[in-house]
């Protein structure tokens, strides 16, 4: 399966994450993860946030996808000086859930905040076997090496587990 397949939805038969890895129960599980890509699906009304996990001490796997559906708002605010070519390390995260709305806010270094508001969300821990054990060196490695050293929409992944927000309904499995 590729990351882009999960942007459409995570079938219900996939295993659930342990509570301590579920950012809808414990938003601080995301601290130490790095945002590497924000994917906006205008036609589907969804936003996917691709996360680098090789430096995370709280989550299994080496990458993850946070997908928010029914998106009403998505914005990224950062300092002008923070536009270097690097991943954004999550230093604080908050998830607010209501029956028909989920809000995700992540404060990041270097000096940025990502906010997404939608009707539901899911968080999928993934393992991309093609990635090296260590993440790229964002300060020293050439840009091309960095791009190939992190997951993107085309990366083949194995699913570890999934968590869903209160308002999320998993899509039906093929054939059901």
* pLDDT value, residue 176: 46
What distance in Å separates the CA atoms of residue 32 and residue 156, rounded to the nearest whole number?
Answer: 23
Query: Taking all residues of the chain, what is their mean pLDDT, rounded to a whole number?
Result: 87
Q: Would residue 172 count as lying in a domain?
A: no
Per-residue model confidence (pLDDT) at position 140: 73
**CA 26/CA 30 separation, integer angstroms:** 8
* pTM for this predicted structure: 0.88
The fraction of the chain above a pLDDT of 90, given in percent, is 58
Residue 175 domain-assigned (yes or no): no
As given in the structure block, the two tokens for residue 58 are 């709280």
pLDDT for residue 83 is more than 60: no
69 occurs within a structural domain: yes
Q: CA 96 to CA 98: how far, in whole Å?
A: 7
> Is 132 within a domain?
yes
Cα dist from 92 to 88, 138, 145, whole Å: 12, 21, 28
Find out whether the peptide bond into 110 is cis, omega within 30 degrees of 0. Answer: yes
Query: What pLDDT does 10 receive?
Result: 76
Residue 93's domain comprises: 3-164
Could you tell me the two tokens for 132?
């090296």
The pLDDT tens digits for 103-131 are: 999 999 888 999 999 999 999 999 998 87
pLDDT per position as a tens digit, 131-142? 777 777 777 777
The residue with tokens 């397949």 is 5
Number of domains in the chain: 1
81 falls within a domain: yes
In a domain, 169, yes or no: no
């Amino acid at each position: 399966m590729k990351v882009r397949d999960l942007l459409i939805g995570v079938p219900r038969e996939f295993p659930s994450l342990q509570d301590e890895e579920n950012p809808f129960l414990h938003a601080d599980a995301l601290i130490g993860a790095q945002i590497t890509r924000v994917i906006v699906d205008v036609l589907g009304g969804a936003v996917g946030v691709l996360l680098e996990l090789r430096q995370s001490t709280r989550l299994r796997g080496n990458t993850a996808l946070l997908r928010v559906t029914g998106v009403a708002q998505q914005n990224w605010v950062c300092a002008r000086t923070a536009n270097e070519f690097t991943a954004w390390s999550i230093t604080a995260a908050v998830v607010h859930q209501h029956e028909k709305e989920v809000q995700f806010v992540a404060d990041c270094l270097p000096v940025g905040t990502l906010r997404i508001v939608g009707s539901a969300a899911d968080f999928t821990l993934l393992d991309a076997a093609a990635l090296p054990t260590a993440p790229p060196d964002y300060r020293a490695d050439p840009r091309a090496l960095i791009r190939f050293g992190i997951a993107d929409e085309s990366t083949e992944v194995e699913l570890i587990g999934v968590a869903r927000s209160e308002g999320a309904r998993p899509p039906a499995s093929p054939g059901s």
